[in-house]
Amino acid sequence: MPPGWAPTPFREFVLKVASRCNLDCDYCYVYHLADQSWRTQPRFMTEAAVGATADRIAEHVRTHDLEFVNIRLHGGEPLLAGRERLSRIAGTLRERLAPLTEVAITVQTNGVLLDEPMAAFLVAQDIGVGISLDGDRQANDLHRTYADGRSSYDEVVAGIQMMQRPEFRSHFLGLLCTIQLAADPVRVWDALLGLGIDGVDFLLPHGTWEHPPPGLVPAGGRTPYADWLVPLFDRWFDAPVRPLSVRTFESLLHLLLGGVGAHESFGLAPVALVVVESDGSYEQVDTMKAVGQGAAASGRTVFADPLDALFDVPAFVQRQLGLHGLADSCRDCDVVTTCGAGLFPHRYRPGAAYANPTVYCADQYALIAHIQRRVEEALARRGTTLAAVRAS
């Protein structure tokens, strides 16, 4: 443990309020990758688990004097829980937490069930809404389909349009778009712009050194994911007025300019996120399900353990060690403060566990190097340098 290190309290809580889904996206880390623990989870988070979770978060808020907590309602597909159950969940969380701290509640949905009553309900409950869509119809239909192969595109776009109505727009948080190498990035970009959304975050598909992501040959000398993102960064960066917020690019710029935190996939800030499964067990970031059966498990539950008990679980600690938790090759890397070795599960390799660069190492290096070059050129035109901005 580095000298002087102290755990960072948790502020982000992902609650698996529904453990099943109405789509069958074939890349989904919950149902189609290494961990199949969803099969033994209750379909919906029980009231006892919700109450105990709220009490554990309240206890954590009091212990660490936290000024805010963010709670994400997740699945499976969280809207399958229905308005009544979601109302009880949000009510319990607010009743026990709002007197102690600021509480933000959001939901990440596939959008299929986002009809007018559901949108009105979420806004009335002050629940922010993020929707998953992989771009244009062709890109989205590559993976985000029903179990019988039917497209989900039209229903998801209808959900997005619903959330953009003036009475709901205040609670629309934007899209999560998983990169599909088989899709043309410019067509994806144009489709996102055509939807008139305010924000998007591009996600890398999940994979490890043992089970690489689609189209990636680790250490193979190619950078297909950087090649996909670079033209979009240039369009976004060069636009006279930024047409939308792209969290991926904004986070990398923020880190390059000397900021900290910003994104779980980049940088060296301690990860302050806990997942609570629908049976009340604490887990690490749920994308760990891409690594192997039980990889996300902590052996602790909301019924038996305070959140502080997770500070004894090695993988939780490693995600909070910053530079000290990384492989030697990352510690020596010239872009490490921006890259941060990528998303924790993407570092996994049998034998060395998480003490590795991300399987996307070459791509992240290439993307960051490109963005840095573009920023340096832009700063030079203004008569300053990246070093000067970082120092200011």
Which tokens in the block code for residue 237?
A: 């960066």
Choices 31-39, 90-98, 270-278, 360-368 (CB under 6 A): range interacting with ligand SF4: 360-368
If the CB atoms of residues 80 and 336 are measured against ligand SF4, the closer one turns out to be 336
Provide the minimum distance between the beta carbon of 365 and ligand SF4 in the complex, in angstroms, as a whole number: 4
Choices 81-89, 150-158, 286-294, 336-344 (CB under 6 A): range interacting with ligand SF4: 336-344
Asked if 322 touches ligand SF4 (CB under 6 A), the answer is no
DSSP letter for each residue of 64-79: HT-SEEEEEEESS-GG
If the CB atoms of residues 76 and 322 are measured against ligand SF4, the closer one turns out to be 322
If the CB atoms of residues 298 and 364 are measured against ligand SF4, the closer one turns out to be 364
Strand bridging mode 273-276 / 281-283:
antiparallel
If the CB atoms of residues 111 and 340 are measured against ligand SF4, the closer one turns out to be 340
Choices 24-32, 107-115, 270-278, 361-369 (CB under 6 A): range interacting with ligand SF4: 361-369
Taking alpha carbons only, the member of 88, 162, 98, 96 closest to residue 125 is: 88
Per rule CB under 6 A, count of chain residues that contact ligand SF4: 13
If the CB atoms of residues 50 and 341 are measured against ligand SF4, the closer one turns out to be 341
Residues 23, 24, 26, 29: is their CA dihedral positive or negative? positive
Asked if 364 touches ligand SF4 (CB under 6 A), the answer is yes
Asked if 352 touches ligand SF4 (CB under 6 A), the answer is no
Asked if 256 touches ligand SF4 (CB under 6 A), the answer is no
If the CB atoms of residues 160 and 255 are measured against ligand SF4, the closer one turns out to be 255
Asked if 204 touches ligand SF4 (CB under 6 A), the answer is no
Provide the minimum distance between the beta carbon of 335 and ligand SF4 in the complex, in angstroms, as a whole number: 5
Provide the minimum distance between the beta carbon of 328 and ligand SF4 in the complex, in angstroms, as a whole number: 10
Run of H or E residues at 303: none
Q: What is the DSSP letter of 118?
A: H
Cβ neighbors of 337 (< 8 A, separation 6 or more) are 255, 267, 268
**Helix/strand/coil for 270:** coil
Exposed/middle/buried for residue 249 (C-beta within 10 Å: 0-12, 13-18, 19+): buried
Binding residue for ligand SF4, selected from 128, 218, 322, 342, defined by CB under 6 A: 342
Provide the minimum distance between the beta carbon of 359 and ligand SF4 in the complex, in angstroms, as a whole number: 9
Asked if 335 touches ligand SF4 (CB under 6 A), the answer is yes
Provide the minimum distance between the beta carbon of 367 and ligand SF4 in the complex, in angstroms, as a whole number: 9
Choices 212-220, 253-261, 290-298, 329-337 (CB under 6 A): range interacting with ligand SF4: 329-337
Binding residue for ligand SF4, selected from 339, 343, 367, 371, defined by CB under 6 A: 339
Provide the minimum distance between the beta carbon of 226 and ligand SF4 in the complex, in angstroms, as a whole number: 11
Asked if 330 touches ligand SF4 (CB under 6 A), the answer is yes
The residues in 23-82 that bind ligand SF4, with binding defined as CB under 6 A, are none
Asked if 252 touches ligand SF4 (CB under 6 A), the answer is no
Q: Which residues bind ligand SF4 (CB under 6 A)?
A: 329-330, 333, 335-336, 339, 341-342, 357-358, 361, 364-365
